[in-house]
Amino acid sequence: RQESDFMRISVRSKEYIVPALYLTVTLGLIVFIINRDLPKVGHDYGFFLPRLLDTHLHHKVNGLAVQWYTANFGAGTPAYPNPQYSQYSLPQFLMFIINPWLALMLSLVTYSVIGFAGFYMFLRDEMGWISAACALGASFILANGFFVEHAIVGHVGFQHFPLLGVILFLIFTKRLGVLPACILIGLVIGMIVNQAGFVILIIFVLSLLITFPLIYLIRPDMFNRRLFATLLTGGLFATLLSISKISAVIAFMRFFPRVIEDDYGQTYTQGLLGMLRQLTGFNFIVPYYFFTGRDMEEIPLFFQEGAGAQFGIWETNISLSPGLIFLLLLGLAYWIISLKTRTGISRGKAIAVLFLSLAVWLAIDLTLAQGWLYSFLKPLPVLRSLHANVRYTSVFIFPSVLLGAFTFHKVFKKKKTGNSAAFVIGIATVLMLCLYLGIPEDIHVRNFKLRSALAVYPQIDAGWNFTLQNVAEITDMEVFLEEDSNIASQDPMFGYEGEYFNPKVTLGPIMELRAGHYNLTNPAGYVFPKENNLQPFDLFREDQKANLELFINHRQPNFESSSWQKFADILSFSAVVVSVLYFLLAVIKESMRSLSIYLNKRT
């Protein structure tokens, strides 16, 4: 029996060698690409790193209490209600033990490993496909332009992209009961919401609308009552765990909706060709420019011409692995050939095709920022504040990966050449990632220097605090060096050019009284003006001196919030407590069971 157990473990270990190798090489290369030009990194890290430091300072002074507002940036602005702030997130908590850059890299690696493993198990255990197909599929959700590009430039809220893989696993798995699976789904979505991931959530929803019908067409038996119970209960847990943050964000954005209209000036057909260029072009244009000696800094123009918009390459390059493109073409040929032997389609699959068509239509309309469905949905809350719609081409990554892995399984499941084919496709994926090593740093605007952030972190971590003295014309990072608040916001919530940011403060001392007001914005006016008798951009009044002194010393003032917000806070906190207690009890129960089995064997 012991020999049998050993053989089973040995076989299972060998099965994991290939996926582990794919993960190690792919993720290692991505991390190297991000860190290629240290100490210079992508420009948007210059937004997120100061805010990670700001919240870390808040934690050192106030513990884990909510950081509703910050005095450091914009002469007093919202923190927790800002969708770009990530107080209760993995990288923020990691800063209790490591510096902010390592925290960001470790969080990216953690999300990638969890997403890779979850998607691998989904394809293997639930879809029932061969290991090589599952390993390739899991690597494709990491090795794509959308994930890599946003990681390079510093879009911290996009780190969660691979987690759709684990969400799919949790939705369909039979390994877990409905309740633990739903709690885990809620925790994953809660993490995304609390780490500036609102755009990723929209991408996830659109991806699932396309992926579910595809799964049904492949494996209709997977759709049962348990699935719908998991979706419903998981959605409930996600809502409870996220409602505090979402409510705070809505309270802030009702005054700053940042309504932006994308107009790419293209016909629908031109837009579709541009999407195809986004998904495939990087694999061809970079080698072409390299071997013909053309200026590599012109590569973004190739994608801008396709999209019809002047966005950076990090928004327009959604490239799939060349190995995945090959599998999709192979799958298309396989499907065309199989049509000759098909006699009909069931009612359920016909409905799935209808839903699939509607989901694809919706995704295309949103990506191209035109069409009937786009016109209908754009005025809705949250959606009206989003732009750079070209990034929604990423909605097709997971469905494409599913189809590519399925093709590999169907073609190679009974062939001895499967492992060799997987190796060649894996090499093609690695080569695609290597193309990023030849991209000049200016294309991704790698102009934020890490040294300043890494120098400030140990001071804050050791307990250093400072009293803000002035409102000054300085950058977000210089706030910590000059010990002043800045007047020029770098926050896109107030517009990319600061067009919605109209503070009443002036350059000079914060504690200087003028007409009964101090020289710092009372940030409660941005979020809960009625409850605090304020308007956006109102300054601290003379009778609010005590709150102002708390604020400039990085303590939270005694401001009021709405009754609904207080209720939402209670709901989210209760959901966190229930989730932690549930899993704690589950661990204790499993430990007692294992101990009982061990003692019985001894006797």
How far, in Å, are 257, 326, 386 from residue 82 at the CA level?
12, 42, 14
Tell me how many degrees the CA angle 405-406-409 measures, rounded to the nearest 5: 90
Q: Which amino acid is at 14?
A: K
Among 195, 214, 114, 117, which Cα is nearest to 156's? Answer: 195
Q: Is residue 335 over pLDDT 90? A: no
Q: How is 208-271 classified by DSSP, letter by letter?
A: HHHHHHHHHHH-GGG-SHHHHHHHHHHHHHHHHHHHHHHHHHHHHHTT------------HHHH
CA 304 to the chain's CA centroid: 24
Model pLDDT, residue 405: 96
Average model confidence (pLDDT) across the chain: 90
Model pLDDT, residue 113: 96
The full 3-state SS of 272-316, as one line of letters, equals HHHHHHHHHCHHHHHHHHHHHCCCHHHHHHHHHHHHCCCCCHHHH
pTM for the full predicted model: 0.92
CA 267 to the chain's CA centroid: 30
pLDDT digits over 569-588, tens only? 999 999 999 999 998 988 88
Q: Which helix (H) or strand (E) holds 472?
A: strand 470-472
Phi, psi (rounded to 5 degrees) for 538: -65, 145
Q: Which helix (H) or strand (E) holds 576?
A: helix 563-602
CB-CB contact of 195 with 246 (8 Å): no
Model pLDDT, residue 2: 46
The full 3-state SS of 534-551, as one line of letters, equals CCCCCEEEHHHHHHHHHH
Packed helices 299-307 and 282-292: angle between N→C axes, nearest 10 degrees:
140
Which residue would you say has higher pLDDT here, 18 or 359? 359
Q: How is 134-156 classified by DSSP, letter by letter?
A: HHHHHHHTTSSHHHHHHHHHT-G
pLDDT digits over 170-221, tens only? 999 988 889 999 999 999 999 999 998 899 999 999 999 999 999 999 999 9
Q: Is residue 5 over pLDDT 50? A: no
pLDDT digits over 397-428, tens only? 999 999 999 999 999 988 778 888 999 999 99
pLDDT digits over 456-499, tens only? 999 999 999 999 999 999 999 999 999 999 987 778 888 777 77
SS3 355: helix
Model pLDDT, residue 188: 95
Mean pLDDT value of segment 129-154 = 95
CB-CB contact of 363 with 211 (8 Å): no
Among 259, 243, 255, which Cα is nearest to 525's? Answer: 255
**Joined tokens for residue 265:** 């000036």
Classify residue 382 as left (phi > 0), alpha (psi -120 to 50) or beta.
left
148-170 exposure pattern, b = at least 16 Cβ within 10 A, e = fewer: bbbbbbbbbbbbbbbbbbbbbbb
pLDDT digits over 68-95, tens only? 999 999 999 999 999 999 999 999 999 9
Model pLDDT, residue 415: 78
pLDDT above 70 as % of the chain: 95
How far, in Å, are 102, 219, 265, 302, 541 from residue 310 at the CA level?
32, 42, 12, 11, 44
Q: Is residue 156 over pLDDT 80? A: yes
Mean pLDDT value of segment 501-529 = 94
**Pick from 130-144, 151-165, 379-393, 482-496: least confident:** 379-393
pLDDT digits over 218-253, tens only? 999 999 888 999 999 999 999 999 999 999 999 999
Model pLDDT, residue 593: 79
Among 347, 534, 336, 322, which Cα is nearest to 430's? Answer: 322
pLDDT digits over 101-110, tens only? 999 999 999 9
- Tokens 């299972």 found at: 12
Q: Which amino acid is at 515?
A: A
Those residues with Cβ within 8 angstroms of residue 393's Cβ, 6 or more apart along the chain or in another chain:
146, 275, 278, 279, 318, 367
